[in-house]
Chains A and B, each alone.
Chain A
């Protein structure tokens, strides 16, 4: 049963550190179920941060349900260049987000449900949460073959992954979140989560690719709405609370003071790309010159998303060494980013005005380099 959240209720529920216990007993017994009205991945991730930082979860665990418009979400210590096709994402308008929990890369769209289980650190138990989800699904479809694995995945028919898990453990609180594929675009998912970038050397945590399937492909009654209600019902039963899903607006500062600044931080280049663990790119590409193919070697070291070392090696007869050196040094300190590279190219042009042949070569090189960013 969906109940729109009144402001007054929100404050009492969400600022429970300040309100006397008596004020809660009427509303929150020993748990809370929230669902976001937003499909913005950054705002929804900000809700997780906010609950983790501000809510007292002792005896009052929270279940948060959310869905996003097309987005790729990478884990805290991952490398987006290694994990997904950034060029395709830019073309298709798919957002990239880095979450604060660990784990691998996932694709979200409106056919995927995200579930976040907030508890105190002591009550953190991923397997228990997954068993709850399995019970919920079986309540809708008793013959469904769904099982949790040791890796905390959920497998359908013993082979298809329908859910992946990640979590974050803080000082006193922890959260475990997982996906649940109901009706996601599987073809799009596969193409987005395949990185075309070669030669990346990094110790970032890597994803474990898996064969996925949607619940709706197995059983058309398992729509997102049905599954959300089933999970909420099972959560309510397990925690002995009322089966009420409280809708929340993740941009409402009166309910979640400070949340918009959390959402903004999650959208910054420094967080999304800058938090990538140090990595190096060792690759090459060819350029056409007078009917022959010249090999250009590229060695780039990237730290905090910025180029620390840049060695682009081109044959001297095509691009004089000192010009090449100039190109290399101009990259140092700039973001490993195609937009920034475009800006750099135009700055370089101005250092050698009128030299059209050189400009054309620089343009060719920079287009190729942008292709690896």
Chain B
């Protein structure tokens, strides 16, 4: 397997929003949004540390100061069919662990908590129109991008790594 591999994802993944770090004087390098989306995979422990999970089942990946946030496969299964997704507007400033939106499934509105602080730069239109993508594609569609700030999120070390989470391991291998 190659160290870096870009693949379009079809299985159960979808991200919810991408958050930028507080700005640093770097040029903007937004992550290109293509149909079907993609992520970067690496093998070995380095690969497995790309996606970090919180204990509340939000996950985040970062690259060049851009964070992408979503909910885990475990969470989307527990929720059931998502019928509505309420996401923040582009430009909203988010604070770590604060509520930033909600998912509605089977008449239950579940709050979403931001695993990072930063500013929302892009949200997935696909998810707004088709909230069921959270179930079908919880790591791919439905995210917003963050602005490149060149900062390392200090809180990343607090998250569980993908390596530790049995659910995401299973997911990884299913590709």
A32 at the interface (CB under 8 A from B): no
Q: In the complex, how many angstroms separate the beta carbon of B89 from the nearest chain A beta carbon?
A: 9
Report the separation of the CA atoms of residues A77 and B109 in the bound assembly, to the nearest whole angstrom. 9
Q: Does A296 contact B (CB under 8 A)?
A: no
B45, chain A: closest CB distance, angstroms: 31
* B84 and A169 within 8 A (CB): no
* Nearest chain B CB to A100 CB, angstrom units: 7
Q: Does A309 belong to the interface (CB within 8 Å)? A: no
The reply to whether B56 and A101 contact each other, CB–CB distance below 8 Å, is no
**Quick check: A166 and B110 within 8 Å, CB to CB?**
no
From B105, B108, B131, contact of A101 by CB (8 A): B108
Whether the Cβ atoms of B109 and A100 lie closer than 8 Å is: yes
Assess whether B129 is interfacial by the CB under 8 Å rule: yes
- A102: which B residues are within 8 A, CB to CB? 84, 104-109
The size class of the interface chain B forms with chain A is 10 to 19
Instruction: Given A171-B56, A203-B84, A204-B84, verify A75-B113 contact (CB < 8 Å).
Output: no
Residues of A contacting B49 in the complex (Cβ-Cβ under 8 angstroms): none
Contact A165 B107 (CB under 8 A): yes
Specify which of A104, A152, A169 is in contact with B110 (CB 8 Å cutoff): A169
Q: Which residues of A contact B106 (CB under 8 A)?
A: 102, 151-152
The verdict on B128 contacting chain A, using a C-beta distance below 8 Å, is yes
Count of chain A residues with a beta carbon within 8 Å of a chain B beta carbon: 21
- The reply to whether A166 and B56 contact each other, CB–CB distance below 8 Å, is no
For residue B111, CB closer than 8 A to chain A, the reply is yes
Contacts of A101 in B (CB 8 A): 107-109
Q: Cβ of A170 < 8 Å from any Cβ of B? A: yes
Chain A neighbourhood of B86, CB < 8 A: 76-77, 277
List residues 105-132 of chain B with CB under 8 A from any CB of chain A.
105-111, 113, 128-129, 131
Cβ of B83 within 8 Å of any chain A Cβ, yes or no, is yes
Q: Does A229 contact B (CB under 8 A)?
A: no
Give A104 to B83 CA distance when docked, in angstroms.
12
A169 x B104 contact (CB < 8 A) = no
Residues in B with CB closer than 8 Å to A100 are 109
Residues A237-262 near B (CB distance < 8 A): none
User: Is A205 positioned at the interface, with any CB of B under 8 Å from its CB?
Assistant: yes
Interchain residue pairs A-B with the least CB separation, the first 9: A103-B107, A102-B109, A102-B104, A77-B84, A169-B110, A167-B108, A76-B109, A102-B107, A166-B107
